[in-house]
Structure 1
């Protein structure tokens, strides 16, 4: 698959979409997030979901929210979908978001945000303290990227965890899909030595696109396997069909 040749200009396409949606009140239909996979599959998501209120969240995000306690590190916070409501519930929240545009909107909504990826966050662990809850909501277990990167990223997150901290990760089990193009993509992943649910993606907006990035959808059993050489273990996994939230604790 050749995902390098493109006439799209590299830019913060995700942030631009978020800003456009916010400028129009965050209403449904105001803007759409266009995501391209490296096999050419393209999906569109109503960007209003990044401003949704708790009564619009999936049950797994509700379950993760209910289990947050103390100081919260919200990784991949976007426009502050979860952080804003965690703050209203009395939590001290720090958001982590690599998109400058999305981070700007989250700050406008009152969230303290550092502009980092999960991977680059390891370089800043001495400056931000420790957390009682590490949240990877809204399917953001995907930010673990791949089976090769996930263990080291999880070890980095353990350095930010207070005693008795929990890590709450939301995802979708990709093995539940019945769509032929998704199953073919997953089988091709496995032939290349990857997990079934690893996806190579970019966000597009008009004539711009983000850089390509890896995003990992994985089954709870696959996550459990990746925890083997990390300080984390799974205490509970709450499922809602293919959706789930995994609660991890330090060993």
Structure 2
């Protein structure tokens, strides 16, 4: 729901990340305000983007443990995954569309390309291939929608080395018991969308990012989307509604 006082197209997410980083990544210093297109608003303490693995959910720790070789960290943000991967000896390339978040990640030692996932696939420089393609921190959501997910997954295959794995983390949206989330999901289904597709933007004072689609998937929905792609699901490990899926090339 647009507000005339809100300036669109600005790096609101990056501003939040940079403010939190400037204050030592401490809790309570900056909040990511996320608005959904039905008016639902949530606030996330931005310090979560600077936490160490011992503070992560089990699915995120498992994802980190499964990374091997050269890693393509898509939606790397401030480097939450990339920094410990670098510390453990991995060669990591981050992909992040937010200039502010990319600046912070670089200050933390991460090499970053400033691109969306779609831009990476369509206009990537010669970045070579990777042993692990990482969509951590619920970034399976970057697949956006039922319509776009198969082409994005297929596009990622060109960055995959022989025997590469794609590690994707998400939340099964069907686990929700909140009436407003259930109603939103049902309205998606009536419009031919997957239950967990959300139209979001990040707010920062009077600025906001452009609206974007983010896709929360049940594991069986992800498996269905893989049908026309080069990927198959090798394993899916769940912790309540959270899960990490490990995909391999067919």
> By the TM > 0.5 criterion, same fold?
yes
Matched ranges for 1:1-251 at <5 A: 3-4=1-2, 6-10=4-8, 11-251=10-250
Aligned residue pairs total 249
Measured after TM superposition, the shift of residue 122 of structure 1 is: 1.0
Contact 1:125–1:159 at 8 Å: present in 2 too?
A: no
Give a deviation string over 1:144-176, Cα, whole Å, max 9, x none: 000000000000100100000000000000000
Q: Residue 37 and residue 135 in structure 1: after superposition, are their counterparts in 2 closer, same or farther (change >3 A)?
A: same
User: Quick check: 1:14–1:205 contact (8 Å CA) kept in 2?
Assistant: yes
Per-residue deviation, 1:124: 3.6
Quote how far apart the aligned CAs of 1:5 are: 5.4
Cα separation, 1, equivalents of 2:151 and 2:122: 13
Distance in 2, matches of 1:161 and 1:147, equals 22
Maintained 8 Å contact 1:125/1:160:
no
Once residues 158 and 12 of structure 1 are traced to their aligned partners in structure 2, the CA distance between those partners, rounded to angstroms, is: 29
TM-score (norm 2): 0.98
Per-residue CA deviation, residues 107-155 of structure 1 (Å, 9 max, x unaligned), is 0000000000001101344511000000000000000000000000000
Matched residues in 1 for 2:4 and 2:150: separation? 32
Question: Residue 229 of structure 1: CA displacement?
Answer: 0.2
Q: Which moved more, 1:150-159 or 1:125-134?
A: 125-134
Runs of 4 or more, structure 1, over 6 Å off, are none
Q: Aligned-pair RMSD on alpha carbons?
A: 0.8
SS of residue matched to 2:147: coil
Gaps in structure 2 of 5+ consecutive residues: none
CA distance in 2, matches of 1:60, 1:111: 23
What TM-score, normalized to structure 1? 0.98
Measured in 2, the distance between the counterparts of 1:132 and 1:180 equals: 41
Q: Give the 3-state SS of the residue equivalent to 2:244 in structure 1.
A: strand
1:7 Cα deviation (Å)? Answer: 2.5
Measured in 2, the distance between the counterparts of 1:120 and 1:44 equals 28
Helix, strand or coil at the partner of 1:9: coil
Unmatched segments (≥5 aa) in structure 1: none
